[in-house]
Structure formats: structure tokens, C-alpha cells
Amino acid sequence: MLDIKKQFIVFTFPRESNDTNYSSYVPLFFYFIIVLIMQNITHLAYLPVKGFEPVNTKLINKYNQQFFPTIASKINFCLESIPNEVQFEIRCNIAYRTQYMFDYLGRTNQSPEILHEYMKTVLLECDSYRLLNVSESFNDKTIGANLETDIYKITRESFNYMWPKTTRGNDYKNSLKMVKPRVDQFISLIDRTFKPLSILDSGCGPGRYLDCLSSIYPDATFHGLDQGKDILKSNRDRFDPSRFQFHSGHVNKLPFDDNAMDLVLSVGVLHHVKDPIEQTIKEHLRVVKPGGYFFVFIVGGDGLEMSMWSFLREIMRPVPKEIAHQKFADYFVAERVQGLLDHCYGEYFLTNRDMFESLLAKYGEFQKIPGISGADVTKESMSWDSFFDERYGEGHLRYLIKKNG
């Protein structure tokens, strides 16, 4: 009987590479000759691998603006010809591991530089997956077809998809617990005699901030605005309509009269919106009554975390959010799933702190909110992090503004 395994050896040699040093293959070549003779191998095949180019990780030395975009494009190149089913699995896996490693380095106060080395190992692994491309059956070229390109539309659709799924039953209760200390913190800065009767949460998501505020201000009426139809439906089913009203709308054109609200919140929303920050801040302060308050939180950024999130979005772009949700939900708690999907599908833009503060100063007195330790990314709440600037840049911008009377 012919033993096929012994009769054939397939060589795959790199080609089209600028930095391949063929002399390093000489000992390997002689080794193979000896193996051929000893194993009595009669057939040899040379299989050139299309476009094979070993990844030159030396090019990716230190963190700079090009680090994550370079890695993302190399990963996309490695994975693009692998069948959807397999490549979606790999992409979700990479997204999770990258986020995990970033968080781990932060929690253990280790240098973010380690992430660079780690990303190289991810890249080398992807390069191995690329060899799957030699099989004809793996040449599924449907990836990239009909992809949505409006990143802000992707952002809106993904929030609408995920919030109702990550805030069911006990998951909602856990999510509410995280919000309580944050609400208590900014409420403690509001004049005690001030009792708001109309409160708006603009970009309310599952309505957890309003829920929390409703026990502090029992006499108020609560308005939640969001663009997500499914989010609004889920909220209307869960909240008492005599106290909570949910409005469909866009944060750049709030459907309320000037000075209609005593307190307005915008929590983690405006960095996801295409319009310039000046315009959306102006629109929110338009509806706040003179003497009323506006609590705003957006990312300031310009650290490694924001670059990493752009990288996650870049590699997850071909993966339908439904598949990513399913995969993450199989392994992680809802809170973690929400965070991952947010970073993988929600576009963020960065805002400079000085510019932001001078913008807020036009409308009234503002106070910087330190944020909750263990939850918020500010220098005050994370004073133990020796690498804060590198990791988070300016961190989160959290402010309470009292509108000029």
C-alpha cells in the first residue's frame, strides 16, 4: 500500500518579500534532503503561497499614531480570505483578548508598552491563519460586500441592538447599581434647595439615570430621549408612563422649548455623534432653564485606549453585530458584553479639555466631577495609575454646569 504521507512533502516558501534572507534556509534545505533519502520519498511539490509575506514585526516598534492602524490593516489582510464563519470567530476572539490585555495591564499598573508586544503575537497568529488561504474551498470573497460605511449609523444601530439585550431582568439591576454612585456624586454638587421638576436624559439608553434620579426627586417628571426605536419600546414597557416619557429624537435637535428643563443629562453620548461638539452643547444648554443644571460626560481621550478602540472597530467591521453579540454573550456577563460591543461598534471622537472648558464657560459656572473610583477614567479616580497619560490621555471629561441666571 502506498503511504501517501510518506510519499509527498509540500514546501511552502515565502516570496515577494523584501526582507527574506534565503541563506537562513540552507540548513533547512539540507535537513529535508536527508529526510527525503531516509524516508524514501519520491515526489516533491513546491506550492507557492499567494502573496505570502512574513509579517515584519520590527516595523511596529513603539506606540505611535500608526501602531494600531498598521496592525489592523495587517490583520485584515491576513483574514480577508478566510470563510466568514471562521474569520468572525477569530475577529471576536482578537477583540476580546485585546480589550482584556489592555484592562489587565491597567489593573496591575503595568506599562502599556506590553500591549505592543502582545499585539505582535496576535498578528503572527493571524499570519498563520492566512495560510488557510491555500485551500480553494476557503476562498470566500463575500466579505466586505454590502458593508455599511457610515460609522455613525453603525454606532446608532448597534446601541439600539444591544441595550435592550444587555439590560434584561437582573442585568438591568446590576447596571443600575453602577449608576447610583455616579448620580450621587454629581447631585451632591447641586444646591440642596434646588428641586428640579423637569429632568431630561438626552441619549438615555435603557433609562437607568432617570430611574436613579426618580428616587431622589420624587416630584419631578422624567424625559428620556434616544434615537433607538427598540430602546424606546423596551423603556416604555418597563417605566410608569405617568412619570416617565420617552421621546424619539436626535441630540442635535431636541424636541423641547427653550428653557424647558431644570436638569439635563448627557452621559456618554456626544462623543458618538457626528455633529461638532460646540453645536450639540449649545443645543443642550438651550433647553436648560437659567439657574438650572447640565451634567455632561464625554471622553477626552488621546491615549492608547482610544487607539485600541479604533483598532477593535477596524477589525470587527466585517462582523455582523448579531454574531459578535452572540459570541460574547456565550462567555461574558452582560455588563462586559455591553462594554465590548460599545467599543467594537461605537465610533468615538476626541475632545480637547481646554477647548471644552472654554466652551462650557460661555454658558455658566462649571465644576469638574472627579468620577467614581473603579468605574470612571479620570486622573482623580485613578491616581494610582502611573501610566495614566499614556493609557488614557486626558481621560473622561465630566462636568456639571449651572446655567447663567
Ligand X SMILES: C[S@@+](CC[C@H](N)C(=O)[O-])C[C@H]1O[C@@H](n2cnc3c(N)ncnc32)[C@H](O)[C@@H]1O
| Contact set with ligand X (CB under 6 A) | 156, 159-160, 163, 203-205, 208-209, 226-228, 231, 250-251, 267-269, 272-273, 342
Looking at beta carbons only, is 76 or 234 nearer to ligand X? 234
Torsion on CA atoms 112, 113, 115, 120, rounded to nearest 10: 170
Looking at beta carbons only, is 183 or 360 nearer to ligand X? 183
Distance CA 126, CA 82 (A): 11
**Cβ-count burial of 157 within 10 angstroms (0-12 exposed, 13-18 middle, 19+ buried)?**
middle
State how beta strands 221-226 and 288-299 pair: unpaired
- Closest distance of CB 207 from ligand X, Å: 8
Looking at beta carbons only, is 81 or 227 nearer to ligand X? 227
Biggest CA-to-CA distance, the chain: 95
Distance CA 40, CA 6 (A): 8
- Closest distance of CB 238 from ligand X, Å: 14
Looking at beta carbons only, is 308 or 341 nearer to ligand X? 341
Residues in the chain: 405
Looking at beta carbons only, is 114 or 216 nearer to ligand X? 216
- Residue 36's alpha-carbon distances to 32, 109, 244, 312, 360, in angstroms, are 6, 53, 78, 45, 76
- Closest distance of CB 245 from ligand X, Å: 15
Question: Could you tell me which residues come within 8 angstroms of residue 165 by beta carbon, excluding any fewer than 6 positions away?
Answer: 325, 329, 334
Contact 123, 71 (CB under 8 A): yes
The amino acid at residue 102 is F
- Closest distance of CB 210 from ligand X, Å: 9
DSSP class per residue in 272-325: GSSS-HHHHHHHHHHHEEEEEEEEEEEE---SHHHHHHHHHHHHHTTS-HHHHH
Looking at beta carbons only, is 143 or 400 nearer to ligand X? 400
> Which residues are bridge partners to 277 per DSSP?
none
Looking at beta carbons only, is 122 or 299 nearer to ligand X? 299
- Closest distance of CB 249 from ligand X, Å: 6
- Closest distance of CB 116 from ligand X, Å: 28
- Closest distance of CB 224 from ligand X, Å: 9
Contact 318, 404 (CB under 8 A): no
**Cβ-count burial of 200 within 10 angstroms (0-12 exposed, 13-18 middle, 19+ buried)?**
buried
CB neighbours of residue 61 within 10 Å: 10
Looking at beta carbons only, is 343 or 391 nearer to ligand X? 343
- Closest distance of CB 192 from ligand X, Å: 25
DSSP class per residue in 163-176: HHHHSSHHHHHHHH
- Closest distance of CB 280 from ligand X, Å: 9
C-alpha cell at 166: 444587555
Contact 365, 402 (CB under 8 A): yes
- Closest distance of CB 398 from ligand X, Å: 12
- Closest distance of CB 155 from ligand X, Å: 6
Looking at beta carbons only, is 91 or 272 nearer to ligand X? 272
Radius of gyration, alpha carbons of the chain: 26
Residue 253 is given by DSSP the state B
Looking at beta carbons only, is 250 or 286 nearer to ligand X? 250
Looking at beta carbons only, is 79 or 232 nearer to ligand X? 232
Name the residue whose CB lies closest to ligand X.
205
